[in-house]
Structure 1
């Protein structure tokens, strides 16, 4: 079985997590020829994938695990919170799994910040991706945290390939 890697991204709202994940995913797919899977955590349950009254909504509301498939997409609806192993099983065929959020998962984690750092994230991070808006010398960072350029997806990818967890 081939080696599969997983890494997580964390940071406050509007820090650039999604933008960085998109850049990294596109490069991994187009330039590194990798199969990429992405998990996004929706902690406030704001994402809307289904519309009340539609069949898929009715099916999902039964409490059953539901997969809706069409010629262009397959969507999985579940009423339970998945653990990492279950998400990996669902994706199955990937080289690199990028996770946005989910601080509870035991994965190497890149924290993303703009303008200021929040020390609440320090215990969870293995790397810090920032831009010029942050003066790193103003903070006491934990030892062993790698500093990455938020605007350099190649640097982030190199870190991922060296530090991601094999899953």
Structure 2
């Protein structure tokens, strides 16, 4: 299985999830898209208290919920990105939200101002008109994209995403 992968990073509330959602909505009619979101604080909720999958998961077991429209995996084991990608099966593009240490081309998403702490891992930034100027990096060292131009961002992804097997 061969696919392209790209990562998104930025502060909480910057619009990463919204951007990934818009890209997926645009691409899904033509391509198979997979998305992985990092939850470093373990705060994401996946099921409601007392429901079957919650009760099964609390036993310590690995749990999969299969339905006609989706498959959900609840796991107690941390998994690497490669293992998760295999679970998805065939797809064309993997978009990763977070996981700053993952060696993938990375697009930073910012509103208001760019946090310079992110710059060492970025190849591009997606910003809107609220970002203060001047930008905190030399022109030409990091690509600058309009956060609201989804087509331009997709073209950047197509040109820069890492091809993986």
Scaled by the length of structure 2, the TM-score of the pair is 0.91
Q: CA deviation at 1:55?
A: 2.2
Q: How far has the Cα of 1:162 moved from its partner?
A: 0.7
Residue in structure 1 matched with residue 94 of structure 2 by the alignment: 97
Q: Partner residue of 2:25?
A: 26
Any idea what SS the aligned residue of 1:137 has?
A: coil
Quick one: structure 1 residues 141 and 65, their matched pair in 2 at CA, closer, same or farther if it must change by over 3 Å?
farther
Q: Aligned-pair distance for 1:103?
A: 0.9
Kindly state the Cα deviation for residue 81 of structure 1 after the two structures are TM-superposed: 1.9
Task: State the 1:136 CA deviation.
Answer: 4.1
- The answer to whether residue 53 in structure 2 is matched with residue 53 in structure 1 is no
1:11–1:146 Cα change, 3 Å: same
The residue aligned with 2:136 is 139
User: Structure 1 residue 106: deviation in Å?
Assistant: 1.1
CA RMSD of aligned residues (A): 1.7
Report the TM-score when normalising by structure 1.
Answer: 0.90
- SS, match of residue 94 in structure 1: coil
The question of whether the paired residues in 1 share the 8 Å contact of 2:114 and 2:135 is answered with: no
* Matches of 1:146 and 1:140, distance apart in 2: 10
Q: Does 1:43 align with 2:17?
A: no
Show the counterpart of 1:4: 3
State the SS of the aligned residue for 2:134. helix
Shift of 1:70: 1.5
Distance between the aligned counterparts of 2:36 and 2:149, measured in 1?
22
SS at 1:13 equivalent: coil
Which deviates further from its counterpart, 98-107 or 142-151? Answer: 142-151
Structure 1 residue 92 displacement after superposition: 1.6
Shift of 1:35: 0.6
Q: What is the number of equivalent residue pairs in this alignment?
A: 164
Match of 2:108 in 1: 111
Structure 1 residue ranges without an equivalent (≥5): none
- Report the equivalent of 2:64: 67
- Separation in 1, partners of 2:77, 2:41: 15
| Cα separation, partners in 2 of 1:61 and 1:35, compared to 1, 3 Å | same
Deviates more, 1:142-151 or 1:82-91: 142-151
